[in-house]
Amino acid sequence: MEANYVPVYVMLPLDVISTDNQLEKPDELRTQLKSLKSAKVDGVMLDVWWGIVENEGPQMYDWSAYRQLFQIINEEGLALQAIMSFHQCWGNAGDVIYIPIPKWVREIGKSDPDIFYTNHKGARNEECLSLGVDNQPLFLGRTAIQMYRDYMKSFRESMEDFIDAGLIKDIEVGLGPAGEMRYPSYPETQGWAYPGIGEFQCYDKYLQEDFNAAVAEAGHPEWELPGEDAGEYNDTPESTKFFNSNGTYLIEEGKFFLTWYSNKLIIHADQILDEANQVFLGCKVKLAAKVAGIHWWYFHPSHAAELTAGYYNLTDRDGYRPIARMLSRHYAVFNFTCVEMRDSEQPEEAKSGPEELVQQVLSAGWREGIQVACENALSRYDKNAYNQILKNARPNGVNKHGPPKLRIFAMTYLRLSNDLLKENNFSLFKIFVKKMHADLDYLPNSDKYFAPIEPMARSKPEIPIDEILEATTPEEPYPFDSETDMPVRVDVGVGGGGGGNLFTAIFSSLGKIKSIFFK
């Protein structure tokens, strides 16, 4: 039964470290961590903000507040997933604090705004740096990738004692907005609202130059980046020339653009993960990367919202298995979101398919032989969400005599809050954790329930992009059971009063609610 045990982590609040680099309310936090420990939670996840640590100047790192926080986590007997957060906190679901990228980097952006992602109307997005500057020495002699590498190197050097002690289990490397491997195609700060298709973000001069060179090499210098024909943030696919049922995305020019656009994202992630691998070489940690669960318009032929985010996924083209193949060279964990959502909870007009999307993506990771982890996209406290997560965690149920046929590597719950800790909500959460643990007691040694985390080996040789793209050939996903065989059941008095019943009621009629379901 131990092989069925799935560890549960809980995301810490976004503002646990203040914008002036101070640990906020350490005594209150310690009390909350003790509550998590009482629920048999395995660990916590934490954003390690670039915009806080290196804010004062290039390579002027201040890790003092994070060291204080890590010490508390360690003393409370919890493990840690650390996110290298190279993005801004603000403008995404649940953002409660404004943490921009380092001010000295933003100063460079004032004289060269093309370091930021840009839409076809020229609107800049300062959430993170454009992948177009990955290899441009624009940052006082360093490239963007060199900045990310130096930050991770300083983290390793400053936290080596915690790494050696086994506190840190994995390093999730931020690869875009919200830490996700995607383009910032649906920014609330620019007026996007669910279920808008979003906009392509490749109009900074560096990406435009790259595209022009690519079409020239392909013998089609006349081809251009999509413009107004691709619509605006809140359009529907059928209202655009690019995404409609007979749209540009189906012809040679559109296919070339979408291949270029999605390949740039894969190459971006591959380069940064290669640097991360070298930085943490020999450490007993796993690398991880997060991919966004963009479930709206999944049932439209164009998959428009996925395409603008950089996931070139269609009925006849798998957009996620190439990502998994790239991750396999770094032995990295594929972390995916929206595992708590059901199709029936989504408004019909959004043509949303979170269940099918999760099934496709998890299957892609498993087929490439890598470990897959999950997060919920929105805070939920009800049994319906917990049971959906449990089903996705072990899609074919528990095996009482050995490892289950399929299982995720870990589950990270969003997020630690006063709402979660309300009596009835927390009672239900404890049951959920127990079921994720296959009804077993807390197991402190991960070697007991899963493959041991070995010292990080060097990444395998770079996989040619043509070989990566061979993985676009679609295959049927692995079959998933319709329901979990270890459900959370609500007894009288559990799950009500603290928000559980309220959330169950809300999520049973989500066809009337559109605005909150965008991640």
Q: Would the annotation count 87 as a binding residue? A: yes
At residue 496, what are phi and psi to the nearest 5 degrees? -120, 160
For residue 428, what are the contacts with CB-CB under 8 A and spacing of at least 6? 381, 382, 383, 386, 488, 490, 494, 495, 500
* CB-based contact 273:330 (threshold 8 Å): yes
Candidates 126, 127, 180, 340; catalytic one: 180
Whether 345 is catalytic is: no
Q: Would the annotation count 290 as a binding residue? A: yes
The DSSP output letter for 462 is: P
Whether 180 is catalytic is: yes
Total residue length of the chain = 519
Interhelix angle 252-279/321-328, nearest 10 degrees: 30
Candidates 172, 275, 355, 375; catalytic one: 375
Q: Would the annotation count 295 as a binding residue? A: yes
Residues linked to residue 453 through DSSP beta bridges, in sequence order: none
Q: Would the annotation count 240 as a binding residue? A: no
* CB-based contact 476:315 (threshold 8 Å): no
The DSSP output letter for 101 is: S
The secondary structure of 21-82 as a DSSP string is: S-B--HHHHHHHHHHHHHTT--EEEEEEEHHHHT-SSTT----HHHHHHHHHHHHTT-EEEE
The secondary structure of 150-172 as a DSSP string is: HHHHHHHHHTHHHHHTT-EEEEE
Q: Would the annotation count 112 as a binding residue? A: no
CA-wise closest residue to 386 among 443, 435, 441: 435
Strands (DSSP E) found in 285-406: 286-291, 333-336, 372-375
* CB-based contact 131:174 (threshold 8 Å): no
* 76's tokens: 């409370």
Q: Is 317 helix (H, G, I), strand (E, B) or coil?
A: strand
* CB-based contact 151:110 (threshold 8 Å): no
The residue type of 443 is: L
For the chain, how are helix, strand and coil distributed in percent, rounded to 5? Answer: 40, 10, 50
The residue type of 394 is: R
332 CB burial (10 A radius; 0-12, 13-18, 19+): buried
Strands (DSSP E) found in 176-323: 286-291
For residue 447, what are the contacts with CB-CB under 8 A and spacing of at least 6? none
What's the rounded Cα separation, in Å, for the pair 114 and 93?
26
Pairing relation of β-strands 333-336 and 372-375?
parallel
Q: Would the annotation count 220 as a binding residue? A: no
For residue 195, what are the contacts with CB-CB under 8 A and spacing of at least 6? 296, 297, 305, 347, 349, 350, 352, 514, 517, 518
What's the rounded Cα separation, in Å, for the pair 17 and 80?
15
* b/e per residue 142-169 (b: at least 16 CB within 10 A): bbbbebbbbbbbbbbebbeebbeeebbb
Q: Would the annotation count 376 as a binding residue? A: yes
Instruction: Enumerate the known binding-site residues for substrate.
Output: 47, 87, 95, 290, 295, 337, 376-377, 415
Active site residues: 180, 375
